[in-house]
Structure 1
Amino acid sequence: MFTAFERLVAVRYLRAKKQEGVISVIGWITVAGILLGVGALIVVMSVMNGFRHDLLATITGVQGHVVIGSFDKSLPDYEKMVVNLESKSGVTAASAYIEGQVLATANGNNTGALVRGMKREDILKRDFMRNAVVQGSLDGFDEGSGVLIGIRMARKLGIYTGSKIKLISPEGQVTAFGSVPRTKTYSVAGIVDVGNAMFDDGMILMPLKESQIYFRRKGTVNYIEVILEKPETARERMKEFRAEYADSSIWMQDWMARNSQFIGVLQVERNMMFIIVAMVVLVAAFNIISSQIMLVNDKAKGIAIMRTMGASRKSIMKIFMITGSSVGIVGTVLGTLAGVSLALNIENIRRWIEAVFDTTLFPPEFYFLTRVPASVKIEEVFWTIVVALVLSFLAAVIPAWRASRLDPVEVLRYE
């Protein structure tokens, strides 16, 4: 494709002499621009992928893929429904639970919390929740009256395993003087670390029987959750379940609908970040044009001499295509290596920066996750490389075409 002559001249042009220092600096700036653009694009896309994956994994790991409830706010025949749902193909597990808002208080500290009354076996069915228990255990959970609380809530209230926590529910007993909030003190049987600030800061797991007593729902539950082998089929499977319970007051909702706000925001952020960072690569590509045009102007005499000695316009164009594309290739390769390395070690880098500068770069209260996730996808890295190389190639075309159109007679007229 390229002759030895064309490669030799291109390499000599890439080696700037002292009088060509400005051109050399611009060339290195262009390489740095492409490096930063490609590297930043890979890091941003990887972090956004990891953020979406981990956030949805924690949400579905706690909430399930399909939730079933009743407009009457009560499911009396929940045990039969659970057995029926679990017997269906593609269903990993089904669990009944009670959910209610409370005010949790301990050591003079207060915080709002969401109580989920579940059976021990239903917690164990979910690897995500079972592995989240970092203190205490689930042994005897159903028979006891202890509760599991999120690790961030434990820190906020200053409590630990064995401590006491008071729960106050607005759904209390109705008396002649009005509704009296229901108050009861429980012991902390364990602490869970889900990895999602939304749950770690406001979740309390209570034995199902105890929650039925506390929320006055004896023999009934609020919801049933279904865990599927393939979460992406939740919408289709929900239609099947709805058809089976079409004559009842039951409603259903899949995990995508329940978290549509999160999914939508994440997608918008991902697209916008891609566009913004891609502009860096585009600007660097324009730098290739400017640096190569300066090189063409500087080498005009040499181009004219080569043309008079028999070099064709096509050969001249190839020479400058090599010089321009080489800048893009070097920047893309270095940017890819830097971007992948940073993405794979982003959490360690975040911890180091926070330790050195005593600051918080990733507040869990705002981002919900307790760490910076990253998921490097080979196909996205591949397309990032392709886009950067194509832009570099296209940016090299204009200066190369201009070099090939130089008229040696005009250039050497006054020499």
Structure 2
Amino acid sequence: MFSPFERAVAFRYLRARKGERFISVTALFSLIGITLGVATLIIVTSVMNGFRQDLMARIIGLNGHLTVQPERGRVIEGYEAVLARIGGIAGIVQAAPAVDGQVLVTGPGGAAGAQLRGIPPEALRARAVIRDRLRDGDLEAMEEEDTAVVGARLAARLRLMPDDSLTLVLPQARGGDFSAAPRQRNLRVVATFDIGMPEYDGRTIFVPLATAQSLFGLGDAVNQIEILLEDPSRVAPVAAELRAALAGQGLRVTDWQASNSAIYAAVLIERQVMFLILTLIVVVATFNIVSSLTMLVKDKGKDIAILRTMGAKRGAILRIFILCGASIGCGGTLAGFALGLGIAANFDALRPGVVWLERAGLSGAGLQFLMTLPSVVDTRDVAIIVATGFGLSLLATLYPSWRAARIDPAEALRHG
């Protein structure tokens, strides 16, 4: 595409000579601007991906990727048959019967409303979001009857520790007789968990499935089935297959995206807005390419005229200055790609340095919080960012290069 002559002239123009230092410095700032813009885009996008993945993992890891609930009535009778139908669907790694309801819990520190989750102990132990974030106690003890795993914030409010006793009170009278005493049961706390979300840490209690069934008077029935998938991003096709398998059973299937639509939409919008704002950094840097290339064309007007009189075509002049601008823009994009990918892929290695800066008083808590977020590099996002950098850089070269190619040799030599 570019002949050896065009490459030689373009790179000669990019080298600073006496009297041309300002143009060279402007080009250098353009390159640095694009480098920082592309690197910042890759780093921030990777951190936003990590934040979204971590947030969704905590929410959907606690509640399940798919939930099967009755359309009418409040329980699922004969849930074993439903589990048998679910078991034949590819991509499902766990399907657990569950009982979910609201209770009043009392402890040494007072009383509070809570969300009671009855689930088989082996299913709870299989959920990494709980297993890996235990604060005190052991999930193995949940095999015993009348035991509970309590959210850390709720446990702190009620001053509960492992082996302490709490009382669950169901805020409904037996048989609709409001003069009768409500159901209640004493449970032993075996563990507390802290997933980092106050909404769940401050109001969730897990108990064995049989305990919840007994407390709510459900017998052998449950009010929902929670399903975990091998790949949560493929929830739509699995949900469609599950609905087909359960058609006519009087059951509805809800996926995690619909259940958490407000949070999911907010995270996506925030990520898109952040991407748009940071793209403006690259756009501003490309305007620097336009200005530096325009000054270069003005400075090289006499040289362009001489090249034209020696037989250089307008197309050759156009390609020379496109190559000048593209070298700045594409070089900055590649440098930004290497810098951004290096930082985003090694985010963990930078955390000790940030801690040192914070102790030295050179950084605030905001940077420390940022460094606690995970970083997930998405190949598609990086490809879009690099392509955007290349595209904007090439677009920035077109007008100054066209102006250079339109220079009249006679006029340039007369006024040069």
For 1:203, the aligned partner's letter is T
Aligned partners of 2:366, 2:183: CA distance in 1, in Å?
Answer: 39
* Displacement after TM superposition at 1:134 (Å): 5.3
In the other structure, the counterpart of 1:122 is 123
- Residues 187-206 of structure 1 correspond to what in structure 2 (within 5 A)? 187-194=188-195, 196=197, 198-206=199-207
Q: Does 1:234 align with 2:235?
A: no
Aligned partners of 2:89, 2:410: CA distance in 1, in Å?
Answer: 84
Aligned partners of 2:145, 2:38: CA distance in 1, in Å?
Answer: 56
For 2:322, the aligned partner's letter is M
SS at match of 1:19: coil
Contact 1:10 1:323 in 2 (8 A): yes
- Residues 9-408 of structure 1 correspond to what in structure 2 (within 5 A)? 9-17=9-17, 19-70=19-70, 71-86=72-87, 90-104=91-105, 108=109, 112-133=113-134, 135-154=136-155, 159-171=160-172, 185-194=186-195, 196=197, 198-229=199-230, 231=232, 232=234, 233-245=237-249, 248=250, 250-346=251-347, 352=355, 357=363, 359-360=365-366, 371-408=372-409
Aligned partners of 2:191, 2:309: CA distance in 1, in Å?
Answer: 86
Contact 1:137 1:189 in 2 (8 A): yes
Contact 2:243 2:252 in 1 (8 A): no
Q: Deviations over 1:246-294 (max 9, x none)?
A: xx4x433233322222332233233322222222222222221111001
* Displacement after TM superposition at 1:326 (Å): 0.9
* Displacement after TM superposition at 1:379 (Å): 2.8
* Displacement after TM superposition at 1:394 (Å): 1.9
For 1:85, the aligned partner's letter is I
RMSD: 3.4
Contact 1:234 1:255 in 2 (8 A): no
Q: Deviations over 1:213-242 (max 9, x none)?
A: 333434332212233455422321232243
Aligned partners of 2:331, 2:157: CA distance in 1, in Å?
Answer: 51
With the length of structure 1 as denominator, give the TM-score of the two structures.
Answer: 0.83
Q: Deviations over 1:293-329 (max 9, x none)?
A: 0111122223223333444333322221221111102
With the length of structure 2 as denominator, give the TM-score of the two structures.
Answer: 0.83
Contact 1:304 1:412 in 2 (8 A): yes
Shift in CA distance, 15/160, structure 1 to aligned 2, threshold 3 Å: farther
Q: How many residues are matched?
A: 407
SS at match of 2:163: coil
Contact 1:171 1:215 in 2 (8 A): no
SS at match of 2:333: helix
Q: Deviations over 1:370-397 (max 9, x none)?
A: 9523221223212321221122112112
Shift in CA distance, 313/102, structure 1 to aligned 2, threshold 3 Å: same
Aligned partners of 1:113, 1:79: CA distance in 2, in Å?
Answer: 28
Contact 1:154 1:160 in 2 (8 A): yes
Aligned partners of 1:255, 1:287: CA distance in 2, in Å?
Answer: 45
Aligned partners of 1:224, 1:346: CA distance in 2, in Å?
Answer: 38
SS at match of 2:42: helix
Contact 2:146 2:186 in 1 (8 A): no
Shift in CA distance, 379/124, structure 1 to aligned 2, threshold 3 Å: same
Q: Percent identity?
A: 37
Shift in CA distance, 40/132, structure 1 to aligned 2, threshold 3 Å: same
Aligned partners of 2:24, 2:159: CA distance in 1, in Å?
Answer: 61
In the other structure, the counterpart of 1:367 is none
SS at match of 2:118: strand
Aligned partners of 2:61, 2:48: CA distance in 1, in Å?
Answer: 19
Contact 1:234 1:254 in 2 (8 A): no
Aligned partners of 2:206, 2:41: CA distance in 1, in Å?
Answer: 41
Gaps of 5+ in 2: none
Shift in CA distance, 112/6, structure 1 to aligned 2, threshold 3 Å: farther
